[in-house]
A and B are shown apart, each in its own frame.
Chain A
């Protein structure tokens, strides 16, 4: 307990409370109108998707292209719960929990055979599996098939904000734990990790399942905030979009995922005025980033308060 109450954690808490306060202030002052709020909500959902995929790709080094598959599970569980149980926030949250359970289970079933594969093979296997989930949902009666579901808006920005905070804390803490370090060792050198007695398959599955569960949270939030869900919105193009966020921000850097989701979200809105050339500019920017920053905006670097404090104290020592 004592370890929790230190300067770093106080700073993080302050940052969270500060950004919450800032957003509510800007909304009440009318600076952030509905348009920016929608953009902010998109960014929030993209952050959750990016960090959950980053856990699989960046931290554990497993190349997955099926992330949209887990998102669609979350989205449809929430959608079905809203339709069948109750059209309220409680309905969405119930659906979210069911979605987490189902996508965790599905991820486990998928992971056990496929995570024995490596590299490109895994990418293809997860890609195929993501499509399978989509086709299953496309042909189910309760999901309304290809027409998709039209839902009321039940999730506001506060819930997405809270979800971003909770998901980030869970993922970061996982990465800093013994299991997380084992995952990093798998990324760095699987054979060496095995030689050190790490059960690599186990840790790969652990990261994959956790990432999948968190992606389904993002899907449920999407269903609650954006009115319409259709199977065609979650094709493997969606997986690629999430992958772009991760690579853009830096594989292995959660700070990078945050920045990438923010930059791409804002850019998308700014470029709306140039609709004809928007995709070209977007593409050029991605190419530029990959040429000048091949490891993404931040590489594997993280922003932490402890590093900040260390830097300050080191400077002090030097001055003295």
Chain B
């Protein structure tokens, strides 16, 4: 009797598994276009509509970026529909759980959904995992924030390899940003002796460090010392004590706001009053919370987006975003908004949502967006100046556009 029960339970479990598998086949035939939040792409409405694939990190480690970018993209699509006076643009959205493996599956899914173009993902790893599939399917991809060096190239190890035909991004590379800060520190701030104190565990910080060092020494400055910390460190006093004893005039911290905020606080408490410069990883209110507003003077960072001295166009975006989501847009939302608009503009200019036509339009597009006006260079990366923002008592007060003089 007992074994019968076990057999029955086993069979029940197996049936559950089989029926789940069945669901998979019937369910994904019509994709997630049938979910209620998939906008105007459901059913017959999809007939005339251009479907845009939104592929973001909506859960997992970097869900913050993905969610902000999804909001930015949705706003762009909504405004495009309002301008067209019809539901011209629909979308399908997918969550890759901040996992590159998932991104591969979703790239295949997007290719089979027949989208006109894809916006996302937010991170370089997940983006790189999706490029080859979407490029083979001739679907244009716009990456809002895949900043890793050479990630748009078919062979990222070779700087002279061809870019993927259908892959574009609207952010500048890590190295470009690092070089811009070096240029600004040397030219504008007049600093010549730098200490670099960077995160050794992220590719982002490593790329910035290399680029800053290269540009700064090329201009004639010297790197006095290079120190490393590890993400999630909280006590930096031993290294800062060492740095305090050095003869330098600027401290470069390539990294994110969590550590940078604490480093600045501990450095200022210790009496290190030299200028502190950083990257767009500084761009968060958390930096002010951790660092303390009184310590955030003579602090500069590079970014793609700031609300300081906003143009009318940028202000309109900020107002629309606030009205829609009741919160301030951040850099990721702005980049995704631009990325989506680049795609929409390319579709409009091509007069078709067919991949090759959109790609041709992208190649010669001249775009005027909230993170700057730009065209794409040979590596499908935008040519636009980097903004350097100055913090006074923790408040962004001044933004200067800097273009690094490379080679």
Contact = CB atoms under 8 A, between A and B. Distances in A.
Interface string A288-302: 000011000110010
Contacts of A33: 108, 112
A35 B27 contact: no
Contact of A228 (B27, B32, B100, B108): B100
Contacts of A298: 10
A270 B95 CA distance: 13
B62 to A, nearest CB: 11
Given A34-B112, A39-B105, A145-B203, A150 B156 contact: yes
A230 B28 CA distance: 29
Contact of A146 (B13, B23, B128, B203): B203
B27 A270 contact: yes
B100 A227 contact: yes
B178 to A, nearest CB: 14
A228 B129 contact: yes
Interface in B96-135: 97, 99-101, 104-106, 108-109, 111-112, 124-126, 128-129, 131-133
Contacts of A148: 125, 203
A148 B156 CA distance: 11
A290 to B, nearest CB: 13
Interface in A231-271: 232-233, 259, 262-263, 266-267, 269-270
Contacts of B129: 226-228
Contact of B203 (A139, A147, A227): A147
Interface stretch (A15-23, A102-110, A194-202, A272-280): A272-280
A57 B126 CA distance: 32
A305 B104 CA distance: 37
B94 interface: yes
Contacts of A270: 20, 23-24, 27-28
A42 interface: yes
Contacts of A263: 17, 20-21
Q: Bin chain A's interface residue count.
A: 35 or more
B14 interface: yes
Contacts of B108: 33-35, 37-38
A301 B11 CA distance: 13
Interface string A80-101: 0001000000000000000000
Contacts of A259: 14, 17
Contacts of B151: 150
B16 to A, nearest CB: 8
A233 B99 CA distance: 8
Given A150-B151, A153-B132, A263-B20, A269 B105 contact: yes
Interface in A31-84: 33-35, 37-39, 42, 83
A15 B21 CA distance: 20
Residue from the set B13, B32, B132 with the largest chain A CB neighbour count within 10 Å: B13
Interface in B172-215: 200-203, 206-207
Centre residue among A35, A226, A232, A278 by max chain B CB count within 10 A: A35
Contacts of B95: 272, 275, 278
A138 interface: yes
B58 interface: yes
Contacts of B131: 227
Contacts of A272: 28, 32, 94-95, 106, 109
B157 interface: yes
Given A37-B108, A275-B94, A230 B125 contact: yes
Interface in A135-159: 138-139, 145-148, 150, 152-153
A166 to B, nearest CB: 23
B183 to A, nearest CB: 24
Contacts of B353: none
Given A35-B28, A35-B105, A233-B125, 4 more contacts: A38-B105, A148-B203, A230-B125, A270-B23
Closest 5 CB pairs of A and B: A147-B203, A275-B95, A34-B108, A228-B129, A146-B203
20 contacts: A33-B112, A35-B108, A147-B207, A150-B156, A227-B129, A227-B131, A228-B126, A230-B100, A230-B125, A233-B99, A266-B20, A270-B20, A272-B94, A273-B27, A273-B34, A274-B35, A275-B58, A275-B95, A276-B59, A292-B9
Interface of B: 9-10, 13-14, 17, 20-21, 23-24, 27-28, 32, 34-35, 58-59, 93-95, 97, 99-101, 104-106, 108-109, 111-112, 124-126, 128-129, 131-133, 148, 151, 156-157, 200-203, 206-207
